[in-house]
Structure 1
Amino acid sequence: MLEGVNGVGKSHLGRLAAAALGPVCVPLVELPDSAPTGLPGQVIAALHSEGDRFLRTGHPGTETLLLAALQVHRHEALAPVGPGRMVLEDRGPASVAVYQAAVLAEAASATDAWALERSLAIEQMIRGWRPVPTTTVLLTDDPDACRARFERRTGQAASPDERALMSRAGRIYHQLAAVSDGYVVLDRQLIGEADAVDLVTGLCRDAAATTADGVAE
């Protein structure tokens, strides 16, 4: 699974890694990129109807439950994956846990420690209904570089509250990785694109080779 703040380059590196892995890889796009005709796409469209790029409608508890349910639905809707194959997921349960905890913390004017507790609780709730990813690659980069990519991709400058949300999400990601098993942190300031892709593909192959049924996620 690939995780990280908006603009860190997850989707781009994920596409390159999936291409390098070939047919043994089953890539899953992040929820906001779901087909608009399916259930996930329809729910995302409803959350995005007021124009907020982080799917905030003013009801963070409801939003959290909806996005958590979509993570479970995403797994349940996945066709059977045979031995020797792997699922490369662009944003999984940790994304919902981190970003919704950040949103809830902003609404409550709470600390990062409070947000981390909420993120762990949200992730645990989701994991009660779908498997834990074998390996989670947390991509990090300079926050200004991430924001610049985000703005180029969306064609719109980030607002102050969006910057604050992304900044808090970045901090929670680091804290979550520090207290959770199965995380590999990849700093894009220290490793080039080709080496990053090699690392991701290598982790995918290692995960597939070490799982009991030969199927890695």
Structure 2
Amino acid sequence: MNAKILFLMLGIISSAFKSQVGINTKNPQATLDVNGDVMIRKVDTLATPENGSRILVLSNNNTINQIDADHLLTPKIIVKGLGGTGFSLLSISLLNGWLQVSFPTLEIDDGNNYSLSQQEFITPKTGIYNVYFFLEMASLLSASTTGIGIFKIGISGNITLLCEESFANINVLGIGVSPPTRSTQTIVKLNKGDKITFGMRGVVLSNISLLANSNAQFSILQER
């Protein structure tokens, strides 16, 4: 037997009684303390733990720990909806004066988390989300106060206006108008089952012609 291998084996056996084994160190500070490179030639494939995946990480004090890797291995949730000439308002009142916006097209929704029938994003997992909403009308608006808003619908059904952008009208040649664009954005913590939807106010269904040739879009990105 190679003398170096024999020496290493004897060192490990003798160190076992101390409950600490050192390789290239005479003063091990852990159960196995390796002073040098480590090569692992084969690792058996293990079944995924019932409570999630695990990965090994090197911490600041040079010890190896395992952490929950689900948030690293699971793709982030991304949804993007578009509304061109098909953008419309539903007769669903979110809060006083607010009507729900309908987006006919989803450009991105890999996890199928946005319901086109309900026009709601249904949160699949608790996390922090970045939500953005943009609307551009085809011309200056004559409505007195036109605004867009992002709404959260809790599991219990309660509706909360998270953020909004509205402009009161200004007079141009004696006619009350306001700028044609609106945008609003927020970062919010959502629990699994919470819903996000989008609303508009200042335009009534009887004056729906204002939406002709207008454009709207939204995006939802899971931050963590």
**TM class by smaller structure:** under 0.3
The structure with the largest alpha-carbon Rg is: 2
Say which structure is richer in strand.
2
Higher helix share: 1
TM-score, normalisation: structure 2: 0.24
